[in-house]
Chain A
Amino acid sequence: MIDVVILFFLLGLFAGLARSELKLPAELYDSLSIFLLLAIGLKGGEGLATQALGPLVPQLFAVIALGVLQTLLGFFLLARIGRLARADAASLAAHYGSVSVATFAVGANWLISRDIAFEPQMAIFLAVMEVPAILVGIVLARGLRKDTDWKGLAHESFLGKGVTLLLGGMAIGWIAGPEGLQPIKGLFHDLFKGALALFLLEMGLIVSRQTGEIRRRGAFIVGFGVAMPMLSACLGLACGALLGLSVGGMTLLATLAASASYIAVPATMRIAVPEANPALSLAAVLGVTFPLNILVGIPFYHQLALKLTGAMS
């Protein structure tokens, strides 16, 4: 049975493709993304309150390495095989090395609906994996030039909306603990699926607008948009297995690895690597990879995680 939130995505996609008059206010999209980031952060923080934090440190380094590796792999494929210009290859690779909160939310929702448990630190992984790809992407595009405003870029990357709200929500959840969070559960827990559904309706509309660019670029964008998340998911599964995550955790780490950023990375790349074509990246990320992940990717990664754990035990 297809998840109900996915039906909202399909409605948005259909409405957009059919050129319906439907348009959601930009403020709603912003508000919902703030809500989702906080809700994911709170849930992760709540889980972390019940366990020791020390063992997490090496895990964080592992997922940072995963993000860096994905960016380098993407750059190699795009520059060598795709023969893209250096700036375009670096920018697109950074998108795929980073992560998408919406994809994570759909993956978490998929697991929760099926009563499959996953580790609370997944929310930290989400926050941590957003940034390294951006920095690697900028170095790949520009080299280590002296005139790069690293301070400004670091400020923008580490204190952007996504990381601030995720880590902030996690801190609140961790300090308050399950009992302290009780009074706000009605909003952040019970309404999560409804908010995700509305958010995905807008995502469907956004995705539908990418069709023009996909038609212009054709097979290359589709090929990379499909192949890259599959490679990344395998790296994510391997990383999850090394860290000893549960099947749910491995599925979600594979989903994170396979996902590609369409908020934090495009905004930073636009400023840091202006010569890269933003339409190319968004068409691949939104037009191909995002729908692929939420429609077929997540169940597929779960199957792979089951096979891998079965083979290891």
Chain B
Amino acid sequence: MTELEKRTLLTIITEAALETRLMRDFTLHGIRGFTISDARGKGGRGVRDASWQEAANIRIEVICPRSQAESLLAHLQATYYRDYAMIGFLHDVEVLRPEKF
């Protein structure tokens, strides 16, 4: 097996309504890849059970260098945290093929 290298996994859980806007932000921050999945749950803004569009959440996962993840998270906090249901957190992960991330 080739060497594993450290990267940071940024996970964002937020309202499905924001998907298009966030994609644009990612491109501006030079993010090359991400994964989006539908999500549901409960939090400070009530039950988000994905039963229809207005109550749908998404979870976005991005793997990138630490500095990039931190600057993206700071941007999200400044832009969206006040008005939208959103949480974001960082994880250390180890990846193969580090040039992809």
Chain B residues within an 8 Å CB radius of A205: 51
Q: Is B54 an interface residue (CB 8 A)?
A: yes
Q: How far is the CA of A279 from the CA of B83 in the complex (A)?
A: 12
- Cβ distance B28 to chain A, nearest Cβ, rounded Å: 14
Q: How far is the CA of A242 from the CA of B83 in the complex (A)?
A: 43
With A270-B15, A275-B83 already in contact, the answer to whether A26 and B21 are too (CB < 8 A) is no
Q: Is A215 an interface residue (CB 8 A)?
A: no
Q: Is B60 an interface residue (CB 8 A)?
A: no
Chain B residues within an 8 Å CB radius of A244: none
Q: Quick check: B21 and A271 within 8 Å, CB to CB? A: yes
Q: Which of B18, B54, B84 contacts A282 (CB 8 A)?
A: B54
Q: How far is the CA of A206 from the CA of B46 in the complex (A)?
A: 14
- A8-34 with Cβ < 8 A to chain B: 23-24, 26, 29-30
Q: Quick check: A279 and B46 within 8 Å, CB to CB? A: yes
- Cβ distance A236 to chain B, nearest Cβ, rounded Å: 26
Q: Which of B52, B53, B56, B84 contacts A274 (CB 8 A)?
A: B84
Q: Which of A23, A212, A266, A271 contacts B54 (CB 8 A)?
A: A266
Quick one: CB contact mask for B34-56 with A, threshold 8 Å, 1 for yes?
Answer: 00000000000010001111101
Q: Is A154 an interface residue (CB 8 A)?
A: no
- Cβ distance B57 to chain A, nearest Cβ, rounded Å: 12
Quick one: CB contact mask for A56-69 with B, threshold 8 Å, 1 for yes?
Answer: 00000000000000
Chain B residues within an 8 Å CB radius of A212: 46
Q: Is A263 an interface residue (CB 8 A)?
A: yes
Q: How far is the CA of A209 from the CA of B15 in the complex (A)?
A: 18
Highest count of chain A CB atoms <10 Å: which of B46, B54, B80: B54
Q: Quick check: B17 and A26 within 8 Å, CB to CB? A: no
Q: Quick check: A270 and B17 within 8 Å, CB to CB? A: yes
Chain B residues within an 8 Å CB radius of A263: 53
- B24-82 with Cβ < 8 A to chain A: 46, 50-54, 56, 80, 82
Chain A residues within an 8 Å CB radius of B51: 23-24, 26, 29, 205-206, 209
**Chain A interfacial positions (CB closer than 8 Å to B):** 23-24, 26, 29-30, 202, 205-206, 209, 212, 262-263, 266-267, 270-271, 274-275, 278-279, 282
Extra contacts, 8 of them, besides A209-B51, A263-B53, A267-B17 (Cβ < 8 A), are: A26-B52, A29-B51, A205-B51, A206-B52, A270-B15, A270-B17, A274-B82, A278-B54
**Chain B interfacial positions (CB closer than 8 Å to A):** 15, 17-18, 21, 46, 50-54, 56, 80, 82-84
A-B contact pairs, 6 of them (CB 8 A): A29-B52, A202-B52, A267-B17, A271-B21, A274-B80, A282-B54
Closest 4 CB pairs of A and B: A274-B83, A270-B17, A275-B83, A29-B52
